[in-house]
Structure 1
Amino acid sequence: MNNIEFKYLILNAKYFTKYEPIIEVCNDEIFAYEALSKFEIDNNLISTEDIFRHLHHNNKLFFELEKRNKQLQFENFNVDKKLFLNFDADIFVSSEQQSYWELFLNDKKDNIVVEITENGSDDETSANIMRDFSSWLSSKNIDTALDDFGQDGSMFSFYMMNGSKYIKIDKSFLRQIEANRNYLHYLKGVLKTIKLNGQKSVIEGVETKRDYELVKELGCDYMQGYYFDEYLIVK
């Protein structure tokens, strides 16, 4: 995607949010929702990952876009449940950005969980930015979730893991178990560690009845995925 194509996409794309339910494993009730950004142009969905990857090279535009997105995601959410909001630490690097997000998050912290996402880079600068963002959220008593734990290419940090109230297990765990049942023991070990640390686990990628039945057997706290009905608001 070149700069001209990207500018056209940002100016012309229709933005909407999909609110995906996070389900309590013990009783199948909805615990919370995660707000997922979606972009559509010419009636075709555009990969959110591609857009955000491009935006990492334009911090100012990334910040402005996410200001709009997060405001809409929160304002249009009319359900009495917690809302998980994805945040990339790269939009929290300047004093202006930090001041804005502090004001935005402070009066909402009882109702939201900040889901810390990685930007796809494993260099030392990115790791430090994520660590600083996690530390700031903790100092403000804002609940956090570590996203995509175990995803291919993601960095592993005990600091990030220990500082999060919720650990979201990447869908790749379930896909690996489909290919090799022995990987089930890895997942059981991760879930046991999360529980012993007093944290909550969320298994992502529950897409089939088989996935659902497996997750129920594992005894994690929450599950999430296309298997469950979506709560959708279009703006």
Structure 2
Amino acid sequence: MFVMQEGPDLNRGNINLEKTDPITGLDTTAWFFSQTQRDPNFYPLHKSTITFFNVMNFKTINQRFSYPGGNAYLCKFRDELRRIFEGENVLRAGADHLVVISLNLAIEDIADRIKELNLVMGRFEGGLRNQIKAGIYVSDGSPQKPIVMMDRASLACREVHGIFNKEYAVFDDALKIKLEEKQYVLDHFEEAFEKGYFHVYYQPVVRALTGKVCGYEALARWIDPVKGMISPLIFIDVLEKVHLIHKLDAYIIEQACKDLRDDIDSGYAYQPISVNLSRLDFELSDIKSVIDRVVAKYNVPKEYLVLEVTESAFASDQKSLGETIKEFRDDGYQVWLDDFGSGFSSFNNLQIYDFDFLKIDMNFLRTFDQNPKSRVIIASIVDMAKKLGIHTLAEGVETEEQYEFLKRIGCELIQGYYFYKPIPLEDYHTKRAELCSFETNESPEERHYFDEIGRINFLDNTPLREHKLEIASDIPIAIIEGENRKYRFIFVNNAFKKVMRTFGADTTDEVLNRLHKNDPGILRKRYEGLIHSEETHEIVEFFEDFGDVKIVSKARFLTRMGDKIAYAFVIKVLSAKK
């Protein structure tokens, strides 16, 4: 797939090459390249720059506008290229591929023209907003086969497929090395399977509220005797292209279940392990049967094997994929939507499919410090997920500021280098006391307890109601945990802190102290109200007098774990001394 394939011998005179493409009327690349090889004076190709263009999802254009409409799109594409690249050679390379060959344009000039092209073609009639990608190859001045030059431009174009904020790529030394690595993977992946070069690394997931480990993600790593650690970005891409990714995923699933069984049998604290599923797992195998067999083989509880389906898996809108996901969830597995926000279909997927968790794409956190929009988008995702009854996890967390922000907006689970890096299983064996102790790990009872707490939406106007479709605002809200009639705050938002200050309390302990000093009759009435809320799941209301300040508070029972019980509170100031 990644080998540079040589084309026909264009110097042979017995090959009949069409000069003109019948749809666009452009010269064909095959004819143009044959002329450069026959006649050195025809065009100085060795001094040129080749820009290869590809229309994304051209099949959609044909489906929406029919084939004549698709041909009209190509002709519009041709006209704009001729206008934008006036004086350069515009050629047809087949399918939805057009090529520009130029002599005097720098990469920056070509990039500006690509941007203009997308702006113009984005206004194509019919309301179709489609993107055109490009790959650029600049000749180094040495004689080269034309097919190799265009192939390199095409390979560069392929690098930006599926990357929505990149319009073009340049074939440079870094890309050449990357393609050589892909070729190595292509040549050696069978050997890697046979000789056990693939390993499972585990990255802990922690609960934002407590910092305790509450899960792991199983990640594939290829440790090669020649190349060392080969990047997953390289080998996963190759295995997907050659339709062997399901073989790797099946291996990771089996290893994860085996390791989980070992932890259970050894008496250590154990957590759910999430594994990644590719779109091709659903296409190339009966993935439900594969997983069911492995789970039964190692006698692993189904709720302890979490299935992460990447958002790109839904690009083909397969009905069977949705049916299989429903079967998984009906059978007791958790299904998470991975990389949420990485593609255009994010919200459509939430309409069609049901998920237990959203994993927020780490790219939002990469711009966290520089782009304030990232915070708004992340908060909006958490707010929306809570209203839909879906839990949230943020991946790629690397700083305390990111962590505190995510905790403040109610994102429940955290994954990233701020807490833990992915490490091999043998490292866990040497760090059992730290990573596998019951003090640092969440218990099953705590998991259920905090999952219920996590349903509260700190960003909502009316957080005591469940699953509403309303715009959020900053209502004073707190979560209070009680045990044997002793209470403590485990969460307060900024609005709650502001109300505290109106009656002279700087800390939550001061608030509790003042509440405890109230009349015994008031204390008993408050306690009875909380019991009533637990028994009926109704919202209860209390009036408190802090001298100059009178407030009303509303509370709702959330969940119980043994003697521990959690409530959500919102408060409102009724009167205050001016």
Range of TM-score over shorter length:
0.7 to 0.9
Q: 2:221 aligns with which of 13, 38, 41?
A: 38
Whichever residue aligns with residue 46 of structure 1, its letter is I
Q: 1:108 aligns with which of 293, 301, 324?
A: 301
Change (3 A) 1:178 1:75: same
Matches within 5 A, 1:13-162: 14-42=197-225, 44-59=228-243, 61-77=244-260, 78=263, 79-93=269-283, 96-105=286-295, 108-118=301-311, 122-124=315-317, 127-128=318-319, 130-151=321-342, 153=343, 155-160=345-350, 162=353
* Matched positions, count: 231
Mark the runs of 5 or more structure 2 residues left unpaired by the alignment: 1-181, 264-268, 428-578
Whichever residue aligns with residue 407 of structure 2, its letter is K
Q: Secondary structure at the match of 2:346?
A: coil
Change (3 A) 1:96 1:30: closer
Change (3 A) 1:212 1:196: same
Question: 1:131–1:159: 8 Å Cα contact kept in structure 2?
Answer: no
Distance 2:347 2:292 in 1: 24
Distance 1:232 1:142 in 2: 25
Distance 2:311 2:192 in 1: 23
Instruction: Report Cα offsets for 1:39-91 as digits up to 9, x if no partner.
Output: 111362212232222222443x4333322221112212324211112122322
Higher relative contact order (CA 8 A, sep 6+): 1
Distance 2:323 2:400 in 1: 40
Q: How large is the RMSD of aligned CA atoms in angstroms? A: 2.8
Whichever residue aligns with residue 116 of structure 1, its letter is V
Q: 2:385 aligns with which of 175, 191, 194?
A: 194
Structure 1 stretch 214-223 or stretch 185-194: which is displaced more?
Answer: 214-223
Distance 1:4 1:121 in 2: 30
Question: 1:88–1:118: 8 Å Cα contact kept in structure 2?
Answer: no
Change (3 A) 1:28 1:10: same
**Alpha-carbon distance, 1:33 to partner:** 1.1
Whichever residue aligns with residue 196 of structure 1, its letter is K
Identity %: 22
Structure 1 stretch 101-110 or stretch 210-219: which is displaced more?
Answer: 101-110
**Alpha-carbon distance, 1:224 to partner:** 0.7
**Alpha-carbon distance, 1:144 to partner:** 0.9
Structure 1 stretch 131-140 or stretch 205-214: which is displaced more?
Answer: 131-140
Q: Secondary structure at the match of 2:245?
A: helix
Q: Secondary structure at the match of 1:113?
A: strand
TM, length-normalised to structure 2: 0.37
Q: Secondary structure at the match of 1:177?
A: coil
Distance 1:30 1:201 in 2: 15
Q: Secondary structure at the match of 1:92?
A: helix
Tell me what 1:233 maps to.
Answer: 425
Distance 2:286 2:307 in 1: 19
Question: 1:204–1:224: 8 Å Cα contact kept in structure 2?
Answer: yes
Distance 1:85 1:58 in 2: 21
Question: 1:93–1:129: 8 Å Cα contact kept in structure 2?
Answer: no
Whichever residue aligns with residue 200 of structure 1, its letter is H
Distance 1:68 1:100 in 2: 10
**Alpha-carbon distance, 1:163 to partner:** 0.8
Mark the runs of 5 or more structure 1 residues left unpaired by the alignment: none
Question: 1:13–1:41: 8 Å Cα contact kept in structure 2?
Answer: no
**Alpha-carbon distance, 1:184 to partner:** 1.4
Distance 1:85 1:141 in 2: 15
Distance 2:191 2:251 in 1: 18
TM, length-normalised to structure 1: 0.83
